[in-house]
Amino acid sequence: MKTKSILITIFLFLAFTIQAKLPKHPCLLLTQKGIEKIKAQNKPAMLFNTTLIQIKNQIDPILKQPIEVPLPKDAGGGYTHEQHKRNYNNMYNAGVLFQLTEKKEYAEYVKEMLIQYAEMYPNLPLHPIQKSNYRGKLFWQGLNECVWLVYTSQAYDCIYNYLNPKEREFIENNLFKPMVEFIAIHNKSTFEKIHNHATWAVTGVGMISYVMGDKDMLEKALYGLDKSGKSGFIRQIDQLFSPDGYFEEGPYYQRYSLQPFIMFAQAIENNEPERKIFEYKNGVILKAVTTLLQMSENNGQFFHFNDALDKTWHSTELVWGIDIAYNRTGNKQLLSIAKEQNTVILNEAGYKVATDIELAQPFIHQTMVISDGAKGDEGGIGILRCPNKNNESCVALKYTSQGMGHGHFDRLSFTYYDNNKEIIQDYGAARFLNIEPKNGGHYLPENNSFSKQTIGHNTLIVDETSHFNGKLDEASKYSPTFYAFINGEQVKMISAKDKHAVPGVTMQRNLLLISHPAFEHPLIIDIFKIISQKKHQYDLPYYYKGHLINTDYKYNAFDTTRTLLGSKNGYQHLWIEAQGNPRQETTSTTWLNDNRFYTLTAVTDENTEIFLTRIGGNDPNFNLRNDPCLMFRQKESDNHTFVSLIEAHGEYNPRLEYTLAPYTNVQNIQIIMDTEEYTILKVTTKNKQTITICFANTDNNPHSVHKIRDYSWQGVCEIK
C-alpha cells in the first residue's frame, strides 16, 4: 500500500511538472490574462466592443452555412483560393469569439473545419497552378500557405482546451505537423531565406509550435533548421531591418511583412518574455511601425517605391502594428491613426487602444533621413516636408539598396506629394492583385519590362540603358551614398550620390524644398549633377499626374500617328506624343492636378530635346496605366547638370467657375556657376524677386566656409 502511495505521489508530481511546462491556452496573441482584462471591462472600450459586434455579426450567419473546404485548383482571385482565405479568417474570428463569449458553437465551427482540412491535407499534391517556384498545396504559392498557418494556429490555440486529446492528435498529425514539414523541410530554401516569404514561413511554424508545445521546431523557426542563427526569425530581424526600422524591400513590403514580425514577436513575448524580443536590435520591430508610418503621405498612402500597389495605414497589417506598438510604447500619436482605422484587434493590445482612444494626439509626419541596410550604411530615403495651407508638400528621395527581387533599378529617383495628391509619381508595380483574369493576380510581364526599368522612374537614364543594365545580382552589390541633409525652417534639403549604377558615370541629386514669400506654395528645386569622362545621351523623365495645360515652348504634336521612344529597357512602352527642341534658356510646362496648377521650369539649351510621352506602347493586353511623362534629353554630353524647379500655384474651381493664377511666377533660372566643386543658381520671378542657391558639391562639412566670386556661404547649401 505504501509503495502504491509513493507511485501515485510521483505520478502526480510528474503530471504537475509536465503541466507547468506546457503553455496555457490561448497562448499566442490572445492570452488568459488578456481575456480576464477584457471581460472585466474596467474602462469604457467602445471601439473594442463595436469591433467585437461587427465580427460577431459577420461570423454568426456563416455558422449556419455548410463548411466549404474545396480541393485547391484556382490562382489568386479564383474561387478555391479565395475560399481558403475566407476559411482561415473565419476560423481565426470564430476562435477569438469562442474565447470572449464562451459560446461552444464557435469552437465547434473551428473544430469541424480543422477536421476537414486534416482529412484532406495529407493527400494533397502541389497546387496545379504552376506560376511560382514556391508552390503551395492549398494555394498556388507557398507564401499563402504560411499566412493560412499564421491565422489558423491562433484559431487552434483558441479552441485547444475545447478539443479532446484524440481530436488534437488527429488534427496535429494530419494537418499541422505535415504542413510544418512541408513549409520548413520540403521548402527549406525558402524557409531559410532572408526575405518576406521566409518571415511568414518562420512565423507560421513558430506560432503553431508554441501551440503544440514543439520546442525543437520553435528553435528552428527562431534560429534556422540547424539552429545556428544563420537563418530564422532572429536573423531576419538582423538583416532585413536597418537600425532606423526600414525594411529592405521598401514600404509596400514593409507593410506586408510587419504583420508576421510583430505578431510572432508578441507571441514570443507572451510565452518567453525572458527573450526580450521587443528590445532586440534596439527595439527595431517597434521602430519599424513608426518608420513605416513616416513613409506615407498625409492621407496615409505609402510611398510607391519598388514593387508597390496602393496601400494606406488603414490596411489590416497596420491595425495589428498600431495596436501592438501602442500597447508596448504608449505613443499617443498612434491612437490618432487607430481612430482613422476605426477597428482594433480583439486581444489585450486592441483593448488597450480602445480604452485609451480619446487620449489620441495628432500623428506628426517629419522631415527626416531613414537609413537602409542591416548596419544603416546602404543608403536610405530622405523625406522633406513643409506645411502647405491645410495639408503639406512632401518630397522623398530614394537612394536605398536594390531591395532584392522586388527592387527597381531607380537610383536617386524621387516622388512628390502635394494637396494630398501624388504630383510626381513613382509608378510602382504592374499588377492587378487577386484579379484572376489579369494573369491570375500575379505580377504582369510589364512589371519587368517597364515598371522595374529605370525609364519608368523619375531619375537619370544613360544611353537608354537601365541602371546596372537591369541585372539584379550586380545591383545588389552596391548602394548610393548619403551626402547631406538640411532641416531648416525655410529650407529643407536632401542630397545623395551614386557612382556604380552606370559605369564611369557619377550622379548626384540635390533636392530642396523651399518656403519663400515670393511663392504661394513651397518650391522644389531639383539639381541633378552628372560627371563622366565620356560622352553619353542623358534622359531625365518626370512622371507628372494631371492634365497638360500649356508650355512656353513649341513642339511637334504626333496627334495622328505615334512612334515609340525606343525599342528596349522600358522605352518600348512609351509613346511619343510630342517632341520639341526649344533652343531657349528656360522652359516651362504646366499641368492641372485636381484643383491646383503645377509648373516645371527647367534650364535648357540648344542641345536639349523635350519629349511628351505616355505609357502604353507594346501593351496589347492593356496592363499598364496610360500616364503622361515629361522628359528632357541631352545628347553628346559628358559633364552635365539638369536643373528644374517645380512650383504649385493657383486654383481651379469648377463648381464656382473661377480660375486663379494659372501661370507660373518664375521668369527664368540661371546657372551662375557649375563646376565639379560648386553649383550656383539664380531664380528670378516675374516681379523681379530673386532666389540664389549656393551649393558645395564635394564638401559636406556643415562648418566649411565657401567663397566663390561674389558669393560666400557656410555649409553645403545656402539660399539667399
Domain boundaries, the chain: 1-30+66-240, 241-365, 368-661
pLDDT digits (tens, 9 = 90+) for 204-225: 999 999 999 999 999 999 999 9
Per-residue pLDDT band for 22 (boundaries 50, 70, 90) equals: low
Question: CA separation (Å) from 374 to 304, 379, 397, 401, 530?
Answer: 22, 11, 20, 11, 29
CA pair distance 160, 343, nearest whole angstrom: 27
Can you tell me the distance from the alpha carbon of 350 to that of 288, in angstroms, rounded to the nearest whole number? 19
Instruction: Using a pLDDT cut of 90, give the percent of the chain over it.
Output: 93
Fold observed for domain 1-30+66-240:
Glycosyltransferase (1.50.10)
**Phi then psi dihedrals of residue 257, to 5 deg:** -80, -20
The residue with greater pLDDT, 175 or 24, is 175
CA 37 to CA 473: how far, in whole Å? 51
Which of 406, 408, 500, 649 is the catalytic position? 406
The Cα-based distances of 600 to 383, 511, 548, 552 in angstroms read 20, 14, 11, 11
pLDDT at 574 > cutoff 90: yes
pLDDT, the chain, mean: 95
CA distance 111 to 159: 8
The answer on pLDDT for 373 being more than 70 is yes
Is residue 14 over pLDDT 60? no
Residue 368, SS3? Answer: strand
Peptide bond before residue 437 is cis, with ω within 30 degrees of 0: no
Cα separation of the two ends of the chain? 100
User: Is 523 a residue whose pLDDT tops 70?
Assistant: yes
Of the candidates 464, 459, 456, the residue with the CA atom closest to the CA atom of residue 616: 456
Please report, as a single letter, which amino acid is at residue 458.
N
Distance CA 405, CA 412 (A): 18
The answer to whether 355 touches 43, Cβ cutoff 8 Å, is yes
Confidence of residue 391 (pLDDT cuts 50, 70, 90): confident
- DSSP states of 339-367: HHHT---SSHHHHHHHHHGGG--------
**pLDDT score of 447 more than 80:** yes
Half-sphere exposure of 633 (CA within 13 A, CB side): 16
φ/ψ (deg, to 5) at 680:
-125, 125
Cα gap 70→78, rounded to integer Å: 12
Give CA torsion, residues 230, 236, 242, 248, to 10 deg. 110
Residues in the chain: 720
Which of 117, 253, 416, 443 is an active site residue? 253
Active site residue 406: yes
430-446 pLDDT tens trace: 999 989 899 988 999 99
* CA 389 distance to own-chain centroid: 27
pLDDT above 60 (res 44): yes
Task: List CB contacts of 132: < 8 A, sequence separation 6 or more.
Answer: 140, 141, 142, 442
User: What does the alpha-carbon distance between residue 238 and residue 235 come to, in Å, rounded to a whole number?
Assistant: 5
Average pLDDT over residues 137-153: 97
pLDDT band, very low/low/confident/very high, at 387 (cuts 50, 70, 90) = confident
Instruction: Name the grid cell of 251.
Output: 514600404
pLDDT at 583 over 80: yes
Q: How far apart are CA 581 and CA 584, in angstroms?
A: 9
Q: State residue 388's pLDDT score.
A: 78
Tell me what the mean pLDDT of segment 569-596 comes to. Answer: 97
- Tens digit of each residue's pLDDT (9 = 90 or more) over 189-203: 999 999 999 999 999
Question: Grid cell 520540403 — which residue?
Answer: 186
d(CA 564, CA 453): 16
Mean pLDDT of 102-123: 98
Cα–Cα dist 481/466, whole Å = 19
Joined together, the cell numbers standing for residue 30 give 490572445
Supply the pLDDT for residue 11.
37
Pairing type for strands 658-660 and 651-653 reads antiparallel
Give the integer Cα–Cα distance in Å for 597 and 521.
11
Residue in the block written with cell 528590445: 279
For residue 2, the tally of other CB atoms under 10 A from its CB is 6
Architecture of domain 368-661: Distorted Sandwich (2.70)
**pLDDT at residue 440, rounded to an integer:** 87
Q: What is the mean pLDDT of residues 341-357?
A: 98
- Report the alpha-carbon distance of residue 160 to residue 208 in Å, rounded: 11
Alpha carbon distance 625, 617 (integer Å): 11
Set of cell numbers at residue 597:
496648377
The reply to whether 547 belongs to the active site is: no
Q: What's residue 420's pLDDT?
A: 92
pLDDT in tens, 592-621: 999 999 999 999 999 999 999 999 999 999
Q: Which of 5-19, 304-318, 560-574 is the least confident region?
A: 5-19
**Residues 376, 242 contacting (CB under 8 angstroms):** yes
Report whether pLDDT(90) > 50. yes
pLDDT band of 20, cuts 50, 70, 90: very low
Burial of residue 133, with CB atoms counted within 10 A of its CB: 0-12 exposed, 13-18 middle, 19 or more buried: exposed
Cell 510544418 belongs to: 180
| 406 Cβ contact partners less than 8 Å away, ≥ 6 residues apart | 249, 250, 252, 253, 306, 307
CA dihedral (263, 269, 275, 278) in degrees, to 10, reads: 60
Cell 469562442 belongs to 98
What single DSSP character describes residue 23? P
What is the reported pLDDT for 41?
82
